Amino acid sequence: MKKKVTGKDVAKAIGVSAMTVSRALNNSPHIDETTKKRVLNAMYNLGYTPNHIARSLVLKRTYTIGVVIPEFTHSFFPEVIRGIEEVVNNSGYRLLLTHSAENHKQEQAALSTLRQNRVDGILISTIQNVKSNKYYRELRNLDIPVVFFDRYFRNIGVSSVGVNDRKCSYKITEHLIQHKYRKIGYLAGHKNIYIAQQRKKGYQQALNDYGLPIVENLILDSGFHEEDGYKAVKKLLNGKKKNIPRGIVAVNDPAAIGALQALNENGIEVPDDIAIVGFSNDIRGELIQPPLTTLDQPAYEIGVRAAKKLIAHITNESEPVEQILIDAPLIIRKTCGC
Amino acid sequence: MKKKVTGKDVAKAIGVSAMTVSRALNNSPHIDETTKKRVLNAMYNLGYTPNHIARSLVLKRTYTIGVVIPEFTHSFFPEVIRGIEEVVNNSGYRLLLTHSAENHKQEQAALSTLRQNRVDGILISTIQNVKSNKYYRELRNLDIPVVFFDRYFRNIGVSSVGVNDRKCSYKITEHLIQHKYRKIGYLAGHKNIYIAQQRKKGYQQALNDYGLPIVENLILDSGFHEEDGYKAVKKLLNGKKKNIPRGIVAVNDPAAIGALQALNENGIEVPDDIAIVGFSNDIRGELIQPPLTTLDQPAYEIGVRAAKKLIAHITNESEPVEQILIDAPLIIRKTCGC
DNA sequence: TTGTACGCGTTATCAA
DNA sequence: TTGATAACGCGTACAA
């Protein structure tokens, strides 16, 4: 294990001051070209690597962006990170990645880690079972800029980037209605999540706009995962016949996939007996039988937009707080039956 | 934007020295319990967050581990990261994530970034088109420990964690042989990648051990992606009949999935006309028609083992260099036809 | 163009 | 148990 070479070592090696080394490194105009070359040469020969830690300490900027993601397994977040990563790297920043595992304590710890590391800004997608947004309101008072992505809150003075859940949910519900479905049920996500609320509202508004009644019994309690959709449909099939819809709008793809499995197991033909649509364009939706009609949640773009907005906040003190909504295109496959 | 509170501020607020604050923070035994409580209280009231940057500068340790991954889209690496993350978090480290995008320049930049940030160690899965391992040999001479994961080199004095490619490839080839397949082809990955070489060797050795000839024409040039498998099989089907095998061992699942698509498009029944097996247990393998027989590359475990080994190297100067090989269990589904 | 002095926020060391 | 001082590696401000 070699000892680390410092700027001073480089300076000593060629008989200049540490400042000259620093100037060579940072392309200062106040340095002779010849001297600069000598320094650069010596750096290379000695295997010098600038100490970003020390640099950060004096500059009070780390050029590092912190990310908090709630889960890793789903294909969505890795894709978002790819988008973030693209922007961040091209802007000379680094990425410090943390993980909340859908757990409040871990999320707090993650935020604390990022702050201790003095990241210049934070991108966060919150955990799901948020009881109140009081905690997140405080992020506004943090000493560094924050941008929410995918899962967000409005009206708390923090910028966010997400899909236009309400509008898109409306769109896919409308798609079913336009194809003559009338009795349309809903597979709901967690009540406390803003996006779940919005998607439900979109579903309800579509029914409303087309003069269809909103039937509470057709709205099934569920969650965001396969097992949630699976259980909800199992329960539905064991319940009263009159509560069984002709079409189902699911809060997301995993829930739809779980539901589809339950339907398949019970010999119910999709879409002939019951149609079903999802939300998020999970990688499996295309392969499952029958292929799932869904909305393409543009993960990569969400990452890109969120990262850009955050860097704007970092760079420009007066960058306006904004709720950025991205449209999710409809992907028509087989489960809608058209 | 509030000004950041320092330890000095906390000290001043209650009339102690900065050292006392530091001691309270680090659970030093040389501090009075009452004083400690006063300090902790003041920290809370002032909203103090320790500056990890400054701490790292003096301690010469960042408690940060750097990761270089070659790609993000595939489901494999996110899962590895989950494993790494688990270990790293529970050991009081942080994760600095970088991305090489299968590109040599970006990989070098990533390593440079990590070194500049003075990470305590590096986990790296190398890019694919490596011409020589000369570059990676130099990692051994780095001033910090390195551990390869998934894609690695042997005999260059650096620890690594990966699946036992040769043995597992042997195992899945043997599976085909034992089910009476005789004319078995191979969909090869890149020549320069160690794991591709190993998998090919496993395939060849299985043929050999069972007294089957190794026919060069049955070994198809290919790559690691869907389109590579797709093209290779298209070419095969347009070529001479005698070169068409009864079974195909693919270097990995994406290649197998691409190949399967080509077979489907040409009306070739799998497994009745041609059987095919993959390697890596891609999330899609289960859903594709027919479901893919493959080997379950234990991504999470690879991440865990690699992170543990790295931390061992960091903590213990004389931790032995080791090539850790993990077994990939066989997952029998439909494409092998048994 | 180059160098010197100082400070960034923290901790190790030694003295009180 | 507590505090003063120096040091970590670098950049800003100023002087030469």
**Full pLDDT tens readout for chain B, 338 residues:** 567 899 999 999 999 999 999 999 999 999 999 999 999 999 999 999 999 999 999 999 999 999 999 987 767 898 999 999 999 999 999 999 898 988 999 999 999 999 999 999 999 999 877 666 778 887 887 889 999 999 888 888 999 999 999 999 999 999 999 999 999 999 998 887 888 999 999 999 999 999 999 999 999 999 989 999 999 999 999 999 999 999 999 999 999 999 999 999 999 999 999 999 999 898 889 888 899 999 999 999 999 999 999 999 999 989 999 999 999 999 999 999 98
pLDDT of residue A131 exceeding 70, the answer is no
- Distance in Å from C9's C1' to A13's CA comes to 29
pLDDT tens digits, one per residue of A74-121: 678 989 999 999 999 999 999 998 989 889 999 999 999 999 999 999
List the beta bridge partners of residue B270.
none
Least CB-CB distance to B57: which of A54, A141, A283?
A: A54
Compute how many other C-beta atoms are within 10 angstroms of the C-beta atom of residue B169: 29
Integer angstrom CA distances of residue A124 from A77, A81, A134, A303, B286:
11, 11, 16, 11, 32
Contact: B52, A289; criterion CB under 8 Å: no
- What global pTM score does this model have? 0.87
- How many angstroms is C1' of C15 away from CA of A153? 55
Identify all chain B residues contacting A98, using CB atoms and an 8 Å cutoff: 94-95
List residues bridging with A148 in a β-sheet.
A124, A160
Mutate: best of A43, A79, A117, partner B, most B CBs <10 A: A117
Residues A145, A122: contact at Cβ < 8 Å? yes
CA distance A237 to B30: 67
Helix (H, G, I), strand (E, B) or coil at B23: helix
- Least Cα distance to B61 among A53, A48, A65 occurs for A53
Nearest to A53 among B50, B117, B144 (CB): B117
Nucleic strand D near CB of residue A19 (< 7 Å): yes
**Which residues, in sequence order, are CB contacts of A287 under 8 Å at separation 6+?**
B284, B287, B288, B289
Where are the alpha helices (H) located in B91-225, listed in sequence order?
A: 104-116, 134-137, 165-178, 194-209
Torsional sign, CA B10, B12, B15, B19: positive
Minimum CA–C1' distance nucleotide for B55: C10
Q: Residues near B45 by Cβ (< 8 Å), separated by ≥ 6?
A: B13
Give the residue with minimal CA–C1' separation from D6. B58
Closest Cα in chain A, distance from residue B108 (Å): 13
Are residues B175 and B142 in contact, defined by beta-carbon separation less than 8 angstroms? no
Residues 300-319 of A with CB under 8 A from B: 317
Alpha helices in chain A (DSSP H): 7-14, 18-25, 33-46, 52-59, 76-90, 104-116, 134-137, 165-178, 194-209, 226-238, 253-265, 299-315
**How far is CA A234 from its chain centroid?**
30
Q: Do B2 and A141 touch (CB under 8 A)?
A: yes
Contact predicate A250/A277, CB 8 Å: yes
Encoded amino acid at B261, one letter? Q
Element (H, E) at A274: none
Closest CB to A56 among B53, B75, B94 = B53
Nucleotide nearest to A23 (CA to C1'): D11
User: What share of chain A in percent tops pLDDT 90?
Assistant: 79
Among chain A residues, the shortest Cα distance to B113 is held by A94
CA-derived radius of gyration, chain A = 26
Which residues have C-beta within 8 Å of that of residue A59, sequence separation ≥ 6?
A: none
B45/D7 CA-to-C1' distance in Å: 30
Strand C nucleotides with an atom less than 7 Å from a protein beta carbon: 1-5, 7-13
Return the ∠ at Cα B311 (arms to B306 and B315), rounded to 5°: 150
From chain B, the residues in CB contact with A62 under 8 A are: 53
pLDDT at A266 over 90: yes
> Residue A212 contacts by C-beta under 8 Å, 6 or more apart in sequence?
A177, A182, A184
CB atoms within 10 A of CB A124: 28
Q: Which of residues 145-164 of B touch A (CB under 8 A)?
A: none
Dihedral (Cα; B100, B104, B107, B108), 10-degree rounding: -160
